[in-house]
Amino acid sequence: MLGAFIYRLELKIHGIVQGVGFRPYIYKLAHKYKLFGHIYNDGNGVTIEIEGDEKNISNFKEELKNSTPVLSRIDLMQTKELELKNSTEFLILKSNQTSISTMLSADITMCDDCKAEMYDKNNRRYNYPFINCTNCGPRYTIIKNLPYDRDETSMSLFEMCSECRQEYENPNNRRYHAQPISCFRCGPKLRFVSIDGDKEIDEEKAIQKICLLIKSGQSVGIKGLGGFHIVCDASNEKAVSELRLNKNRPTKPLAVMFKDIDAIKKVCSLTQKDEELVLSKERPIVIVTKSSYIGLADSIAPNIDKIGVFLPYTPLHEILLQELNIPLVATSANLSDEPIIRDEKELFVKMPNVIKNVLTHDREIVNACDDSVVLNSSTHILMLRMARGYAPQSFYLKKKISKNILALGANQKSTITIAFDNNIVISPHIGDLNSIEAFEYFKTTLDTLKRVYKFEPDVIVCDKHPRYETTIWAKEYVKEHKNIELLEVQHHFSHALACMAEYSLDEDVLAFCFDGTGYGDDGKLWGGEVFVVSAQKYKRVYHFLELSLLGGEKAIKEPKRVGLSLLFEIFSLHEILSMECEFLKAFTKQEIKIFHHIYIKGTNTPKTSSLGRIFDGVYALSGDGVNLGYEGESGLILETQSKDSSSEEIYSYTLENGVIDYKEMINQIVIDADKTDIAKKFISTITNIIVDIAKEYPTLPVVLSGGVFQNATLVSQVTQALKEMDREYYIQSKTPINDGGISLGQAYFAIKKDG
């Protein structure tokens, strides 16, 4: 400050400040405090120049600091005094294209103001299925490049009518520079299309037609923000069962979309936190507890007491739910191991037995994006799938990094993380990379991040697993680009680092990394690991006793193989054949002998320390030998069963020489008659193991990460026990706790190595 009463100041603001109503907010703020100058978007965020009274500028800065648009986020504000220009007005200037470091906003649900207009019969957007403003609507799914301007989105094909143009250009209007702004006259158009060529372009009739098909028990396709949903009547058992049969999805839970929160409360028991999540602007699928009277088809979420619920998040969904007045199954339209489908032609080609009619529109989905899934464990919010509403997610780094870092994640629940300058950006959920289509989607997502952020990597980080598609791709890419450094980071170390990254931890921690599978340093399959971890190194201090996977990957789908392997670790073949055990009725004696021969010979029986697989084995030993339909199903079933037990006991185990030995626990499970007691005692035993190991390292903060910690009961028990010990602990909440967080952990390793 030079002491002048009137002066001019430049403010450069970094963060999420484009496409969120930031410029009109600043425009109004400048007028409020009688300041002159201008504002414009650039690749770094926004640049503001203000000129005026010293006190007014101070008040402007204070209000800017404490009250910004709901969708915005200020990461950094740099100020510099300029020479006076004697401006006499405040202007919003055209965007200035520079290097990119501004952060892109995720897609956001329809706001209350737009909803009120949509239901106002006197409003020109009454029942308009694409209503939006600067506070809501599509962002990531329509963008091609930054800065976020209309000509860089899929809305560039729709020329604004005079009324929309007037709103778009008025800084005092809620739709000022709302890039997807449109109306019936100038915006995207709905249409009904059937697989046999039938079409309906009258929008009202198209909606009526699709609603009649849903009410008749058919499954239909609905084009959403980031792809198609398969939709059917969630209260119609025949409709849901047929969808499962046609989609070859035997037991995996189906998400249900409800008209409003009261409709959800009729069939579910919601905590206050559950309700907040359901009603949040991100509108994720929230995993909640079924009530005693469910009122939905039994096959929505069989064998478990949980269900995924969400509210309509686009105006089209809202219109459909109001018209139908029934809950709807709304599950992603995709084949197993393939990404969500964005185009109705592809939908008809790939899923003709599932979908024969769709309600679609002509606004292109540039970037596919699935629905987010979250869970409230009673003590913590757990991110299970980070996508629409939350992603791309960005973090601001206080210390600038010198290299561009690309982290490729794992093979399941794939995400990509890029780090550059002061930023970490995590992609939306990509999925499992088990098909050519899925890996093409991975590459498309990578291309999007590179294009939008003008990003080229100096460092690539991948998993150590030699057969991961991401690892193979990374090694091939580095061969062709000799100047790029390649780093390989162990899977479970990355889990720990992901949690550390979320909380910006630098100190040593005690990390419990429990999941289904990860490639270990010894070439075996890890998954029940306890590490002492720093940002650059780790020491494996405990792991679960290894078991053999009879038949390799087959054992993951057939838990009875894991249960039998657990018995082989403890008992002789003669003892097993002589047992009176309900579980063993799943095999003939000849089958047991064959499996035992395979076990002894070690033929296709990889060793694993995976706690996820132990969950599968305990599920089988408790009397449930039915094959699993999806990853983590055994844990959900055990969690459900545990709630019917009043047992306060735990099973026996030993902690010796770095091994968590559970043989005595298996011995006790075999003679335990009640499956609910088995489930309760098993989860309590895992809690006790964590607590006992934590006591051995009393000075270290505890980190919990990995897919096993998607078990809400386990998380609640463990965190409560750590609180009672007055122990510092961390568990991910903003980022996926499962393999979706691996890319973040990998990036954090490279960042710390760089700095």
Q: How buried is 382 (Cβ within 10 angstroms: 0-12 exposed, 13-18 middle, 19+ buried)?
A: buried
Q: Give the model's pLDDT for residue 1.
A: 41
Token reading at 262: 């009261």
Cα 172 from chain centroid (whole Å): 35
Task: Write b or e for each residue in 731-755: b if 16 or more Cβ atoms lie within 10 A of its Cβ, otherwise e.
Answer: bbeebbbbbbbbbbbbbbbbbbbee
pLDDT digits (tens, 9 = 90+) for 666-708: 999 999 989 999 999 999 999 999 999 999 999 999 999 999 9
Which residue ranges form the domains of the chain, and what is each CATH number?
6-92 (3.30.70.100), 105-188 (3.90.870.30), 190-371 (3.90.870.10), 374-506+737-754 (3.30.420.360), 512-700 (3.30.420.40)
* Residue 212 DSSP one-character state: H
Whether the CB-CB separation of 647 and 673 falls below 8 Å is answered with no
Q: In this structure, are strands 423-426 and 459-463 parallel, antiparallel, or unpaired?
A: unpaired
* Residue 545 DSSP one-character state: P
Query: Residue 392: which of 461, 308, 451 has the closest Cα?
Result: 451
Q: Give the model's pLDDT for residue 17.
A: 85
- Do you know the residue count of the chain? 755
- Give, in order, the Cα–Cα distances in Å from 28 to each of 89, 208, 522, 713: 12, 43, 62, 49
Whether the CB-CB separation of 416 and 430 falls below 8 Å is answered with yes
Reading across the β-sheet that carries 73-82, which strands appear in turn? 73-82, 6-16, 45-53, 36-42, 90-92
Q: Give the model's pLDDT for residue 99.
A: 55
Token reading at 680: 């309760």
Query: Residue 595: which of 558, 640, 561, 642 has the closest Cα?
Result: 561
- Collapsing DSSP to helix, strand or coil, 458 comes out as coil
In the chain (755 residues long), the average pLDDT of successive 10-residue segments reads 71 85 89 92 85 92 88 87 90 72 80 96 97 93 87 95 95 90 97 93 95 97 96 97 93 96 95 96 96 86 94 97 96 88 93 95 95 92 96 90 96 96 94 92 94 94 96 96 96 98 96 96 96 96 97 91 95 92 90 94 94 96 82 91 94 97 96 93 98 98 97 96 97 96 98 85
pLDDT digits (tens, 9 = 90+) for 311-359: 999 999 999 999 999 999 999 999 887 889 999 999 999 999 999 999 9
Confidence (pTM):
0.92
Q: In this structure, are strands 256-257 and 306-310 parallel, antiparallel, or unpaired?
A: parallel
Q: Is the dihedral of CA 91, 94, 98, 100 positive or negative?
A: positive
pLDDT digits (tens, 9 = 90+) for 72-86: 888 888 999 999 898
- Collapsing DSSP to helix, strand or coil, 225 comes out as coil
Q: Give the model's pLDDT for residue 98.
A: 57
- Could you identify the residue written with the tokens 């269900």? 307
Categorise residue 389: left if φ over 0, alpha if ψ from -120 to 50, beta otherwise: left
Q: Give the model's pLDDT for residue 100.
A: 56
Query: Residue 511: which of 731, 343, 695, 686 has the closest Cα?
Result: 731
Whether the CB-CB separation of 380 and 715 falls below 8 Å is answered with yes
Query: Residue 631: which of 252, 339, 254, 319 has the closest Cα?
Result: 252
